[in-house]
């Protein structure tokens, strides 16, 4: 295998963020004593959250604003009189404790850590992501965790990848690959930085973006073999 530095996105690549997100949202609403119409409310929250994350990745809003605004707007649009600051605090605490692994995540990281160095690159909140990693069983295989919060720039910004490269024990672009589910953050970021990429695409979505992955897999179990094929190409 030619790669020696393996950079993994965390949410919806190694950890099933959607499952964690829904469980945390349900816990948060229960804490606030809101129990009716939660499925529709969660769907609206998700749309609002995704839109705000896009703005954050473009540098248009801060993460602190995002954390509160996603609840404020969801509540306001539904005429719900609840404190978005309290909701945000409860949700963040719950998210750190509702970790769901993507199938094959631990085994893959263990395998690749035996070959080279494994690092996490995430736009998620620094403290929360570290707690989630600690709960996941992934930590023993990881060399470092790079967060946009600590860096000051988010994927796909090249400055985030430059920051990440300095955290690795050794770094060269030909030896580095990123594995992630987001074309617009992970794969496009890899393209701009000039490193290989594996698009984790379990939903087998069409790529209608400008991002060009080096290869594509629909299961983490296929990553090792795909990287070995790249080495022989």
Strands (E), the chain: 5-8, 117-122, 144-147, 176-180, 196-200, 215-217
Q: Which long-range contacts (CB under 8 A, 24 or more apart) does 19-27 make?
A: 19/98, 19/100, 20/95, 20/98, 20/99, 20/100, 20/132, 21/46, 21/95, 23/94, 23/98, 23/100, 24/91, 24/94, 24/95, 24/98, 25/91, 27/90, 27/91, 27/94, 27/98
Of 179, 174, 180, nearest in space to 194 by CA: 174
With beta carbons less than 8 A apart as the criterion, state whether 128 and 96 touch: yes
Residue 77 known to be catalytic: no
Let me know how long the chain is.
233
Residue 16 known to be catalytic: no
What is the enclosing helix (H) or strand (E) of 124? none
| Residue 206, both tokens | 């069409």
Tell me which residues are annotated as active site. 9, 11
């Amino acid at each position: 295998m030619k790669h020696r530095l393996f950079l993994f996105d965390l949410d919806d690549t190694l950890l099933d963020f959607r499952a964690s997100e829904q469980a945390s949202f349900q816990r948060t609403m229960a804490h606030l004593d809101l129990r009716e119409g939660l499925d529709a409310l969660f769907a609206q929250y998700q749309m609002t959250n995704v839109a705000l994350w896009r703005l954050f990745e473009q540098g248009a809003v801060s993460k602190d604003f995002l954390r509160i605004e996603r609840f404020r707007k969801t509540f306001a649009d539904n005429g719900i009189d609840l404190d978005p600051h309290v909701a945000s605090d409860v949700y963040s605490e719950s998210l750190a404790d509702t970790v769901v692994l993507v199938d094959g995540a631990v085994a893959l990281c263990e395998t690749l850590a035996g070959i080279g160095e494994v690092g996490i690159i995430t736009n998620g909140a620094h403290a929360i992501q570290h707690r989630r990693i600690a709960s996941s069983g992934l930590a023993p295989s990881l060399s470092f965790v790079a967060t946009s919060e600590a860096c000051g720039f988010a994927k796909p910004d090249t400055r985030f990848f430059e920051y990440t490269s300095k955290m690795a024990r050794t770094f060269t672009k030909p030896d580095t690959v990123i594995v992630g589910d987001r074309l617009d953050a992970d794969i496009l970021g890899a393209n701009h930085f000039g490193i290989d990429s594996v698009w984790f695409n379990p939903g087998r979505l069409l790529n209608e973006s400008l991002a060009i992955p080096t290869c594509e897999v629909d299961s983490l179990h296929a990553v090792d073999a795909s990287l070995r094929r790249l080495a022989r190409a």
